[in-house]
């Protein structure tokens, strides 16, 4: 099998006033296979979210290569990315912040298909079906972000990500803003959707216990570099790098 996502020697540097250039992501390489859930863990500032922004082309890489389903997307932008976004979607940390407060949830969920010229009745029927799969009534299409809870809004965000039938979803701390009970419900939903649709996930998270339960493999980032990777039980129960040992000790 070929990877759904392959990252090779990916780097991103930034310049700071009066200081030397620093690397937020430093020669990172990994692959996500079909149906795999890959976790990325590390403290704040380790480069986790920068990797997500690079893969989804929100920012340009300094060096390296990003491939989605075998296609090199490293330097694509604008309209060139439209067919790529049919394969890869992202769910953000702040569910309400990811929707336009002036528009209904339905407007946000249907936007990708509206841009593709799919008729209104067809895209709304798909959106209602996906909302129901995500545990929400179809009439939530008519609600605004401020009219729903954080957990409900995140379910709507997941439905939005699924509208174009992607191969891989990126979750950037997508459960950290939710309380423990709602977080558990969202994780159960993600597991069900992953198994049903044979999706691949890139799961960026600081919660090691959650990663251990949910992910097939895990990468530990420190200062923009991969310092450890492997099965979650191996990395968490038998960490080899000093940083991974400190990270595990701080949590457990």
Per-residue CA distances from 158 to 155, 163, 164, 237 (Å) = 5, 9, 11, 31
Give yes or no for residue 18 having a pLDDT over 70: no
Average pLDDT over residues 164-186: 88
For the record, the structure tokens of 14 come out as: 């930034």
Those residues with Cβ within 8 angstroms of residue 238's Cβ, 6 or more apart along the chain or in another chain = none
Residue 92 pLDDT class (50, 70, 90 cuts): confident
Average pLDDT over residues 47-64: 95
Greatest alpha-carbon pair distance for the chain in Å reads 56
pLDDT (0 to 100) of residue 141: 94
Those residues with Cβ within 8 angstroms of residue 173's Cβ, 6 or more apart along the chain or in another chain = 48, 49, 93, 204, 205, 206
Q: Are 114 and 147 in contact (CB under 8 A)?
A: no
Q: pLDDT per residue over 214-224, tens digit each?
A: 999 999 999 99
Q: Is the pTM of this model over 0.75?
A: yes
By C-alpha distance, which of 104, 103, 94, 160 is closest to 131? 160
By C-alpha distance, which of 244, 250, 204 is closest to 223? 244
């Amino acid at each position: 099998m070929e990877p759904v996502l392959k990252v090779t020697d990916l780097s991103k540097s930034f310049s700071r006033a009066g200081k030397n250039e620093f690397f937020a992501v430093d020669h990172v390489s990994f692959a996500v296979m079909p149906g795999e859930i890959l976790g990325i863990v590390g403290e704040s500032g380790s480069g986790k979210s920068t990797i997500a922004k690079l893969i989804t082309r929100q920012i340009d890489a300094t060096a390296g290569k990003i491939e989605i389903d075998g296609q090199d997307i490293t330097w694509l932008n604008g309209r060139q990315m439209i067919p790529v976004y049919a394969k890869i979607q992202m769910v953000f940390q702040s569910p309400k912040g990811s929707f336009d407060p002036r528009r209904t949830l339905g407007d946000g969920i249907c936007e990708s298909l509206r841009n593709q010229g799919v008729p209104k009745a067809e895209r709304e029927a798909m959106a209602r079906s996906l909302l129901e799969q995500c545990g929400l009534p179809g009439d939530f299409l008519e609600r605004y972000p401020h009219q729903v809870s954080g957990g409900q809004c995140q379910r709507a965000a997941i439905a939005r990500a699924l509208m174009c039938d992607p191969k891989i979803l990126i979750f950037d701390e997508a459960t950290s803003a939710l309380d423990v009970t709602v977080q558990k419900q969202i994780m159960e939903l993600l597991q069900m959707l992953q198994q049903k649709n044979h999706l691949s996930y890139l799961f960026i998270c600081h919660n090691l216990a959650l990663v251990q339960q949910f992910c097939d493999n895990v990468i530990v980032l420190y200062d923009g570099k991969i310092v450890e990777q492997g099965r979650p039980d191996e990395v968490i129960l038998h960490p080899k790098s000093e940083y991974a040992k400190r990270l595990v000790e701080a949590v457990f």
